[in-house]
Structure 1
Amino acid sequence: MSRTLSEPAPHETAPAEPPKPTRRVLRIGRLVAIPLHPRSIVIGLVLLVVLLAAAAATVSLGRLGIPLARIPAALGGEGEATHLFALERLRGPRLVVAAGTGVALGLAGALFQSVTRNPLGSPDVIGLAAGAGAGASVAALMLPGIVPVPLGALAGASLSIVIVYLVTGTGLRDPGRLIIAGIGVAAMATAFTHFVVSVMARDEAGVLASYVNGSLTARSWDHAATIWVAVALAVPFVLALAGPITVNEMGDELADSLGASATTTRTGAVVLSVVLSAAAVSVAGPIAFISLTAPQIARRLSAAPGPNLLLSAVVGALLLVCADLVVQRSPVGDGLPVGVFTMALGGVYLGYLLIREWRKGTL
């Protein structure tokens, strides 16, 4: 009896299929499942080294700079009085606030862009940061001692996102409507902030004018504590959403069928994004475009699917620390609020994204 070439002999077995690569996931309890990608881990470690180098440059450069060899002693509370003063009163708080604000904005942008599936859906592009700045200005100047500045920033940010959500008519999904509504809300919030500045006393208005542009000047350890406590409280919830957000990027129907409620995930991510953005605004003012660019850079560096939350946080911290270093040490940026510098760079990047999305037909 003959057999065809395609039929295996009785004693032969079909070749085994190569094993499918398993996806590495870091599980913490039953609620937290963080996708791990080797490339992302390596890039994250490299960026942390660069961040430490930028931090060392921030502390060591300039007239009151601490020599690199003496930084460890100053960190331990020893060394010259001038070095201790510069670290404890001037550069230390500013550096810690910059890093914490960058982490908060990077996480906020990654959360928002992931659940809206929109690279243009950054908290500051849709007016959230401007709204937080307006709320903070009301709390600081019109209701001093009655409403805490962080609470005012949170209220302003929440009101802005609600207005954008209602105005678009489609929620947070349509990129074109989202940007148009966000520009309108941001313009109104900015105009209101300047109105508050104009009716207040001159000395108070001068302080706020620097604040509403996004500034890290004269930061204190109280500001550092505020932003890092906010980040520490938000991170467990962010990590708990890492898995559902990854599933949510595949579509609402698939997410719901797999048990990761798209509506619940989107609501939780937007709330966390608002809280983190408000915390950043409360200590540094509306720093523009960090939340837009950090997640995009992280995604391109890692080439990994998913929100890249932790890598976005590291990129956000690195971007803001480096921007503040340029503002402090560059002759062009001398005395310039860091928010103005990031706005200039981010505006160029936003233009690039708009052109790219237009060519793809999503606008």
Structure 2
Amino acid sequence: MTTTTVRIGTAVSIPLSRRALGVGAVLAVLLLVAGLLTLTLGSLGIPILSLPAQVIAPTGSEGFVLTRLRGPRLVTAIGTGAALGIAGALFQTVTRNPLGSPDVIGLGVGASAGAAASALVWPGVVPVPVGALVGATVAMLVVWAGTGRGFSSPSRVIIVGIGVSAMGVAVTNLLIARAGREEATVLAAYINGTLASRSWDDAAIIWASLLVIVPSAMLLGRRLSLIEMGDEIADSLGANASTTRAVSIVVAVAAAAAAVSVAGPVAFIALIAPQVAKRLTRVGGANVAISAITGALLIVAADLAVQNSPFEVQLPVGVLTGAIGGLYLGFLLVREFKKGTI
């Protein structure tokens, strides 16, 4: 496969295949189309011919829709999908398992429990994003300790993660049961994963997080490619598998927690995006950039669907991604069982 090496100074070199570059370009165009449809479809849609003028100088009702309703929602969706795609790519690479996803091993549920606790138990004391990060970190520490072997055994990580998820759901449901009706309604939408009523503050949080997460994940690229070949080979080539795995998990936790803090646990984007990216590019390694674009496209397309659904009540985007992702997870479980890997 023909590759091109992109060098950043003397310390960083990034090999890129021409196929991956082509796939990335196509996905970016599809993301642009989905974004335009998000802004222009529906009763509140902005006419596409008016859109350039509104972007430059928002005015009137169309400007309100762009700057207060759909604009921040779209920008938040793109950032959230990118963060989840990166988190899933890192998890699946370091565990060498297609089931290695924040959804499967309890990170999203842990972040939801932390966010619920900060919103209902310590309102105004602990910010929701901080609560989500703490909850995600605690969940991962429990998984790491519960396996007895850290993250080195993918099958144990998945089994313990299922148990952690169950505990996180129990904690979240307990908090909802004790909350007031209005608080419970808002929190229920959040823990299902929603992009409704997002603001520019939410967009700023996720994109500020990506400014740190994306370079960190890209710098891990070469080491992650070596880890895919086995820890012994990675160590012999200077990748230091244990350290790389630990750093990758930290970056993945930060990415998933950032996404959950602004949109709740949007289900299965982190599971599906990296696998779609790998199948399209046919390239080994984490495929961080393509996974990020794929995750953004998936969540924007899903949000477009729920915004234009025929239901009287607009569903949280996580309900749609959860339904589709659940079917895909079932397919993966059957395939891995037949392979004898689980």
- After TM superposition, the score normalised by the length of structure 2 is 0.97
Q: CA RMSD in A?
A: 1.4
1:47 and 2:27 aligned:
yes
Residue 54 of structure 2 aligns with which residue? 74
Q: What corresponds to 1:5 in structure 2? A: none
CA shift for structure 1 position 151 = 1.3
What SS is found at the alignment partner of 2:97?
Answer: coil
Superposed, which structure 2 residues align to 1:204-283 within 5 Å? 204-283=183-262
Distance 1:35 1:71, change over 3 A: same
Tell me how far apart the structure 1 counterparts of residues 170 and 7 of structure 2 sit (CA, whole Å). Answer: 46
Opposite residue 51 of structure 2, the aligned amino acid is I
In the TM superposition, residue 89 of structure 1 has moved relative to its aligned partner by 0.7
Note if contact 1:108-1:276 (Cα within 8 Å) is conserved in structure 2.
yes
Q: How far apart, in 1, do the equivalents of 2:146 and 2:207 lie? A: 33
1:126-205 matched pairs, under 5 angstroms = 126-205=105-184
Deviation of 1:332 (Å):
4.4
Cα deviation for residue 256 of structure 1 reads 1.2
Native 8 Å contact 1:117 1:173 kept in 2: no
Cα-to-partner distance string for 1:86-106 (whole Å, 9 max, x where unaligned): 001110011111100000000
Q: Which amino acid aligns with 2:297?
A: L
Distance in structure 1 (CA, Å) of the matches to 2:42 and 2:93: 40
Pick from 83, 90, 96: which aligns with 1:104? 83
Counterparts of 1:275 and 1:142 in 2: how far apart (Å)?
23
Say which is worse superposed, 242-251 or 311-320, in terms of deviation.
Answer: 242-251
State the Cα distance separating 1:238 from its structure 2 match.
1.1
* TM-aligned CA distance change 1:348 to 1:137, over 3 Å: same
Instruction: Give the whole-Å Cα distance in 2 for the aligned partners of 1:134 and 1:31.
Output: 40
Of 262, 287, 290, which aligns to 2:266?
A: 287
Q: Answer yes or no: is the 8 Å Cα contact 2:2–2:18 preserved in 1.
A: no
2-side partners of 1:46 and 1:242: how far apart? 22
Distance (whole Å) between structure 2 residues aligned to residue 331 and residue 64 of structure 1: 15
Larger radius of gyration: 1
Whether contact under 8 Å (1:213, 1:339) holds in the other structure is: yes
In structure 1, stretches of 5+ residues that fail to align are 1-20
Q: More deviation in 164-173 or 226-235?
A: 164-173
Counterpart residue identity of residue 269, structure 1: S
Task: Give 2:26's aligned amino acid.
Answer: V
The answer on whether the counterparts of 1:131 and 1:159 sit within 8 Å (CA) in structure 2 is yes
> Offset of 1:30 from its aligned partner?
4.0
Residue identity matched to 1:341 = L
Is the Cα–Cα contact under 8 Å of residues 59 and 87 in structure 1 kept in the other structure?
A: yes
**Does the 8 A contact of 2:202 with 2:262 survive in 1?**
yes
Q: 2:5, 2:240 → 1: CA distance?
A: 20
Task: Write the letter of the residue equivalent to 1:72.
Answer: P
Q: CA deviation at 1:172?
A: 2.4
Q: Retained in 2: the 8 A contact 1:32–1:243?
A: no
Choose which of 37, 49, 56 in structure 1 pairs with 2:36.
Answer: 56
Amino-acid identity (%): 55
> Per the alignment, in what secondary structure is the counterpart of residue 212 of structure 2?
helix
1:175·1:362 contact (CA, 8 Å) conserved in 2? Answer: no
1:293 CA drift (Å): 0.3
Q: Classify the secondary structure of the residue corresponding to 1:68.
A: coil
Partner of 1:16: none
Point out the more displaced range, 169-178 or 30-39.
Answer: 169-178
Paired residues, what number?
342
